[in-house]
Structure 1
Amino acid sequence: MTDTTSQPATTSNARNLFQKLELDTRLLGMAGAFILLCIGFDLLTDGRFLTPRNIFNLSIQTVSVAIMACGMVFIIVTRNIDLSVGALLATSSAVMAMVQTQILPHALGLGFGHPMTWILAMASGFLVGTLIGAFHGWMVGYLAIPAFIVTLGGFLVWRNVAWYLTSGQTIGPLDSNFLMFGGINGTLGTTWSWVVAVIAAGLALFAQWNARRSKASHGFPVKPVWAEITLSAMILGSIFGFIAILNSYMIPERRLERMFEARGEVMPEGLEVGYGLPISVLILIAVAVVLTIVARKTRLGRYIFATGGNPDAAELSGINTRLLTVKVFALMGFLCALSAVVASARLANHSNDIGTLDELRVIAAAVIGGTALSGGVGTIHGAILGALIMQALQSGMAMVGVDAPFQNIVVGTVLVLAVLIDTVYRKRLGAK
């Protein structure tokens, strides 16, 4: 007689394991898909995809879109959309490039290398991005113009404002201190990368322990000790493994020689130095931590998700949804300017096509990461994972030799499938 109970029992045990670990099965599915994607491209590229060099490049290429995707989560959660993020990035980048190459040298006599040049340039970009974002939010919240129309108009306006600011020219080179935020020109080095890893691991374990203590003090059930230890091991493995990979990517010998020559020194023979954690990736981690805290621990975050869940009920409960819309779009504008810093610093100049199609990549990353277009649901870490999946797809296809048009076809197909899977997943959750 055939045993028909083994398969259901196995499925039930796996489900119980996930429940005890309190892991998001959808997030696990995304992580599994990303791992399979990386393994597949590594096989197709004869082991070139999962090298330390490519992982380093993949990480710095993901940052710009991932930062904006974090802000797009809040936009979509409140049942809005922002189609202007790529154009806003271009405008902020153009402003910062003109400030440090034209305005500061002529108006204040501050040239490249001055400690205030990069600070004032970035401050100007942040101011412009935040004000434009707030203006969009004001039109959406107070004038009741649909966000789709406002930001579609912004997409056309700000892309061409950026062109006029620079007369369509590439502006560069940029200040060396400014370039440190792009990735390859600014890393922490191996020692400080390990220091950051230890600090991050300590904070993660403290947050996990504090959450367990808080649950216990309020009488809520807590995970078994073995589940806590398993999660801790997964967290520590991810942090230290990532840093170990980045530290194993060595600075090319000729580049290292030039770095010593610039300091008037002679490089010791046989010296090898790893790049370590890029400053741009550190910025992304900081943005993710801050916005996660905002989403989970602050009144603003509760208001954002309450408004997205039911706007009418949120307004009746006393939430100023119009002002909230302005705040969310202003935050999106600030994050666009921050992404402009990373993107232009990575390229070492401002180019006319910077940020092109980023609005589609940002929305796709947020949606693939689990942000519901119907509003009220979304996570910051999911958006970052979505951005990583998008970048891995594009980088992998480029390494395999896939044409750019077909790459866009694949990305568009993945976006539609992600929305379909998300819709089916949420319907099943609702049915249960």
Structure 2
Amino acid sequence: MSDSTTTPTSTDTRQPAKSAVSRFLQATELDTRLIGMIGALALIWIGFHLYGQLVNGFGAFLTPRNLWNLSVQTASVGIMACGMVLVIITRHIDLSVGSLLGFCAVTMGVTQVWILPGLLGIGHPLIWIIAVIVGLITGTLVGALHGWLVAYRNIPAFIVTLGGLLVWRGAAFLIARGETISPVDETFKLLGGGPFGAIGATGSWIVGLIGCAAAIAMVFFGRRQRLRFGFALRPVWADVFIAGLSCSAIIGAVLLVNSYPWPKGIVKRYAAENNITIPEGGLFISHGFAIPVLILIAVAIVMTIVMSRTRFGRYVYAIGGNPEAAALAGINTKLMTVKIFALMGFLAGLSAAVASARLGSATNALGTLDELYVIAAAVIGGTSLAGGVGTIYGAVLGALVMQSLQTGMVLIGFDAAIQQIVVGSVLVLAVYLDNLYRRAAK
């Protein structure tokens, strides 16, 4: 009789060892999408710089002047992209933001150039403040109207905002009578940047040190919160690494903006007006952080706190994840929609102040095609068109990527047609990569 017993085969249940990179990412909890975007941005910057060196004999991209101007140019689109994230997360779209920017800019221009000087007197210190408030209120009311039509009249956001794209551009033309409204208030112009629209070297170091202190505090209090609620802690070295990396990035930004000096002609005029003797080697006055960049940073910080630390932000993600379940859970999805579009309108008004101040005038053509760049910035930054996924810092980085592409193509001499082809291709590629990422995450 043969032995029918068999020896059981042992199965190896051990998990494969993780690579050093995987262990590092797990310990630091860094967002892989964020790392990918920063890597893509670095490739864009280095690529345009090297191309300029090969073709023109010098690279003009990675210079303090170009990077400072790049940050200012990013501000307007970046501000609106912070609001577009919320709109797309909740499965809507806003095609009217560019036209709304132009409408708000014209409204502010008419207020401070045609109306208030006759009421308050030319050069009155309240003119620019009232003009900005009027622009912000205008944008908020228009955005709330769009949200009301979407939420309470069940008109698709695509149709409402497509109509708004046409309506508000036409309204801006009628109000301005097709004219360029200028000159705007001198203090108002500071919101657009420039040598006098920046905070200088000392102010930039103050901002940088405050930013470093905030970064360290966030890591410290985040660790305390994890201990308080019993969540898993990151290794101490990981917290130190994150704090150190954040501070290094902030200090690097300060050194960069402080290395860009005022133009010589402006320095001479400034020295003459203030009885300053220019030394033999010249007078070096740093630009420092531009005011529009500080506005963008402030908006990004506030919006990040709103999305991650408030009930409003949790409701936004809940509606984007499953609108029906959110409504059944007691969330007033219709009122939330109105609030989200009103916030988008408010940010469009703020962006209009920055854009018209930088231009030094208001025109109905201001903001043309900005809606496409804002949507592209949000999508490139990781906001999913399927809803429920998106971050503010991703949208800001997306805006920087978009502006870097445009600036780089201008520097190397690409015409407008090629620029549009590249921007459109990048947008399609971003959506495709988002689809691949969501499939891999399932």
User: How far apart, CA to CA, are the structure 2 residues paired with 1:277 and 1:9?
Assistant: 48
User: How far apart, CA to CA, are the structure 2 residues paired with 1:429 and 1:255?
Assistant: 54
- Would the aligned equivalents of 1:135 and 1:326 in 2 still touch at CA under 8 Å? yes
- Residue 94 (structure 2) pairs with residue 87 (structure 1): no
- Residue 65 (structure 2) pairs with residue 53 (structure 1): yes
Q: Which residue of structure 2 aligns with residue 38 of structure 1?
A: 45
Structure 1: 4+ residue segments shifted above 3 A = 8-11
Residue by residue over 1:7-57, the C-alpha shift from the partner in whole angstroms, topping out at 9 and shown as x without a partner, is: x99972211111111001111011101001100111112221010000000
User: How far apart, CA to CA, are the structure 2 residues paired with 1:422 and 1:110?
Assistant: 54
Amino acid aligned to 1:291:
M
**CA distance change for structure 1 residues 102 and 378 in 2, over 3 Å: closer, same or farther?**
same
User: How far apart, CA to CA, are the structure 1 residues paired with 2:274 and 2:223?
Assistant: 54
1:169 to 173, 179, 199: 179
2:140 to 130, 133, 141: 130
2:233 to 222, 227, 230: 222
User: How far apart, CA to CA, are the structure 2 residues paired with 1:240 and 1:206?
Assistant: 16
Residue by residue over 1:370-422, the C-alpha shift from the partner in whole angstroms, topping out at 9 and shown as x without a partner, is: 00001111000000000000000010011011111111100110111111111
Structure 1 length-normalised TM: 0.95
Could you tell me how far 1:288 is from its partner in structure 2? 0.4
Residue by residue over 1:250-296, the C-alpha shift from the partner in whole angstroms, topping out at 9 and shown as x without a partner, is: 001211122244x4534433321010000111110100010000001
- Residue 432 (structure 2) pairs with residue 420 (structure 1): yes
Q: Which residue of structure 2 aligns with residue 3 of structure 1?
A: none
Identity between Structure 1 and Structure 2 (%): 53
Could you tell me how far 1:212 is from its partner in structure 2? 1.0
2:268 to 244, 257, 260: 257
- Would the aligned equivalents of 1:257 and 1:266 in 2 still touch at CA under 8 Å? no
Q: CA RMSD in A?
A: 1.3
**What secondary structure, in the 3-state scheme, does the structure 1 residue paired with 2:44 have?**
helix
Q: Which residue of structure 2 aligns with residue 5 of structure 1?
A: none
- Residue 30 (structure 2) pairs with residue 23 (structure 1): yes
Aligned residue runs from structure 1 range 127-206, under 5 A: 127-184=137-194, 185-206=196-217
Q: Which residue of structure 2 aligns with residue 367 of structure 1?
A: 379
User: How far apart, CA to CA, are the structure 2 residues paired with 1:422 and 1:362?
Assistant: 17
Amino acid aligned to 1:245:
L
Amino acid aligned to 1:227:
A
- Would the aligned equivalents of 1:257 and 1:267 in 2 still touch at CA under 8 Å? no
- Would the aligned equivalents of 1:34 and 1:389 in 2 still touch at CA under 8 Å? yes
1:207 to 213, 218, 227: 218
Q: Which residue of structure 1 aligns with residue 12 of structure 2?
A: none
User: How far apart, CA to CA, are the structure 2 residues paired with 1:10 and 1:52?
Assistant: 44
Q: Which residue of structure 2 aligns with residue 96 of structure 1?
A: 108
Could you tell me how far 1:171 is from its partner in structure 2? 1.1
User: How far apart, CA to CA, are the structure 1 residues paired with 2:228 and 2:136?
Assistant: 42
- Residue 36 (structure 2) pairs with residue 12 (structure 1): no
Q: Which residue of structure 1 aligns with residue 127 of structure 2?
A: 117
Q: Which residue of structure 2 aligns with residue 324 of structure 1?
A: 336
User: How far apart, CA to CA, are the structure 2 residues paired with 1:141 and 1:32?
Assistant: 39
Could you tell me how far 1:109 is from its partner in structure 2? 3.0
Could you tell me how far 1:425 is from its partner in structure 2? 0.8
1:389 to 389, 393, 401: 401
Could you tell me how far 1:352 is from its partner in structure 2? 3.0
Q: Which residue of structure 2 aligns with residue 4 of structure 1?
A: none
User: How far apart, CA to CA, are the structure 2 residues paired with 1:11 and 1:173?
Assistant: 62
Amino acid aligned to 1:206:
A
User: How far apart, CA to CA, are the structure 2 residues paired with 1:265 and 1:135?
Assistant: 54
How many equivalent residue pairs? 420
**What secondary structure, in the 3-state scheme, does the structure 2 residue paired with 1:29 have?**
helix
**What secondary structure, in the 3-state scheme, does the structure 2 residue paired with 1:38 have?**
helix
- Would the aligned equivalents of 2:103 and 2:364 in 1 still touch at CA under 8 Å? no
1:232 to 236, 243, 260: 243
User: How far apart, CA to CA, are the structure 1 residues paired with 2:354 and 2:68?
Assistant: 15
Amino acid aligned to 1:208:
V
Q: Which blocks of at least 5 consecutive residues in structure 2 are unaligned?
A: 1-14, 54-58
Q: Which structure has the greater CA radius of gyration?
A: 2
Q: Which residue of structure 2 aligns with residue 340 of structure 1?
A: 352
User: How far apart, CA to CA, are the structure 2 residues paired with 1:153 and 1:66?
Assistant: 23
**What secondary structure, in the 3-state scheme, does the structure 2 residue paired with 1:239 have?**
helix
- Would the aligned equivalents of 1:105 and 1:111 in 2 still touch at CA under 8 Å? yes
2:389 to 361, 369, 377: 377
Residue by residue over 1:276-329, the C-alpha shift from the partner in whole angstroms, topping out at 9 and shown as x without a partner, is: 000111110100010000001111111111011100011111111000000000
Q: Which residue of structure 1 aligns with residue 318 of structure 2?
A: 306
Q: Which blocks of at least 5 consecutive residues in structure 1 are unaligned?
A: 1-7
Q: Which residue of structure 2 aligns with residue 282 of structure 1?
A: 294
